[in-house]
């Protein structure tokens, strides 16, 4: 019996180093708890809002560029009715003047039926254009690589047809560009504010984690642990937290964009859908929009880790410069 007990004690003593080798050192930063879960949720919400903002800015920018491109390729000649004016002959004359100008690809007269359809939402169906003093329009298609001399065209129209006027839409294009730039500027400002709020949340979370383990950090620091080692522990912990939260928020934003795109592609016959289609076309941010969401996810995770590193290093620097207590 004594020999058996001794053998057991010997085996236990022999296995003890192996068990100690299997043990892992306790991490400086505690594992995920309620505060860590809350931070993941906050980062996910911030990433979702950032992605929505970037998607909206992308959509407005693309739509404005499309509008600008379409408007800049066309001009409009308007001929107002006048006493003794042969409207059909005036339309032919104005169309010929525009077609002969350099940089004009074509000049198309809007016929009576098309003019009646344009006025139908306001005046109803069954209109007789000849009985109303309705101006007639000519759509002039412009070569985007060689803009025509609009001043010369206006001068010829004024000489031949005093009731005719040329609108090159430059006023509307300038307003559109100004509106798009203002919207994009506001969007990026909101995006910067959201990222700043994310940084502040990470700073508070890092300080909270350090405050809960302050005595351990101080002991490690004063016995010779390098600031890089301590900062690396915090940085890795909060990098994983940022990746989890940012990925969740980015996926939610991508699903939201995909849902809006699917809804727009169905082109529901409702006034709201018609208005949205008229303003933005089919609601789709395209490949660049989704790449922007991925960039936001990566940026949020990296920003979380970098903020944590800076906060920890600043804390350890304060420990070195703080005078010893009496």
Contacting residues for 41 by C-beta, under 8 A, at least 6 apart: 245
Distance CA 127, CA 130 (A): 9
HSE-CB at 221 with a 13 A cutoff on CA atoms is 20
Q: Where in the chain are the domains? A: 29-68+174-321, 81-162
Contact 316, 221 (CB under 8 A): yes
- Name the strands in the sheet holding 74-79, side by side, starting at the edge strand that comes first in the sequence: 104-109, 136-142, 74-79, 164-167
Contact 47, 296 (CB under 8 A): yes
Alpha-carbon distance values, 314 to 36, 140, 307, 317 (Å)? 22, 66, 11, 5
Residue with the bigger pLDDT between 159 and 319: it is 159
**pLDDT tens digits, one per residue of 51-93:** 999 888 888 887 777 777 777 788 889 998 888 888 888 999 9
Report residue 166: phi and psi, to 5°.
-110, 130
For the packed helices 170-212 and 214-222, what is the interaxial angle rounded to 10 degrees? 80
pLDDT value, residue 189: 93
Tell me the percentage of the chain whose pLDDT exceeds 70: 78
Contact 129, 146 (CB under 8 A): no
**pLDDT tens digits, one per residue of 136-186:** 899 998 887 888 888 888 899 888 888 898 888 778 777 877 888 888 889
């Amino acid at each position: 019996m004594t020999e058996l007990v001794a053998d057991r004690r010997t085996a236990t003593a022999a296995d003890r180093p192996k068990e100690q080798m299997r043990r892992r050192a306790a991490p400086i930063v505690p594992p995920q708890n309620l505060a860590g879960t809350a931070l993941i949720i906050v980062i996910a919400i911030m990433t979702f809002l950032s992605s929505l903002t970037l998607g909206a800015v992308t959509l407005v920018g693309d739509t404005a560029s499309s509008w600008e491109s379409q408007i800049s390729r066309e001009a409009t000649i308007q001929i107002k009715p006048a006493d003794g004016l042969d409207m059909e002959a005036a339309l032919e004359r104005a169309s010929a003047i525009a077609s002969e100008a350099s940089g004009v690809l074509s000049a198309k007269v809007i016929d009576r039926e098309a003019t009646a359809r344009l006025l139908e939402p306001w005046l109803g169906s069954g209109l007789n254009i000849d009985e109303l003093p309705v101006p007639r329009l000519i759509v002039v298609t412009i070569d985007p690589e060689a803009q025509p001399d609009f001043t010369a065209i206006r001068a010829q129209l004024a000489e031949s047809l005093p009731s005719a006027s040329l609108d090159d839409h430059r006023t509307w294009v300038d307003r559109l560009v100004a509106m798009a730039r203002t919207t994009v500027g506001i969007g990026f400002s909101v995006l910067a504010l959201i990222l700043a709020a994310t940084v502040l949340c990470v700073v508070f979370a890092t300080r909270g984690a350090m405050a809960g383990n302050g005595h351990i950090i101080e002991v490690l620091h004063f016995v010779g642990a390098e600031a890089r080692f301590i900062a690396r522990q915090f940085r890795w912990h909060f990098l994983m937290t940022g990746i989890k939260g940012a990925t969740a928020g980015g996926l939610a934003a991508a699903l939201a964009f995909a849902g809006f795109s699917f809804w727009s592609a169905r082109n529901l016959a409702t006034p709201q859908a018609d208005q949205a289609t008229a303003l933005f076309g089919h609601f789709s941010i395209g490949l660049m929009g989704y790449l922007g969401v991925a960039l936001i996810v990566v940026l949020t995770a990296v920003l979380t880790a970098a903020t944590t590193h800076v906060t920890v290093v600043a804390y350890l620097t304060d420990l070195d410069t703080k005078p010893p207590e009496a």
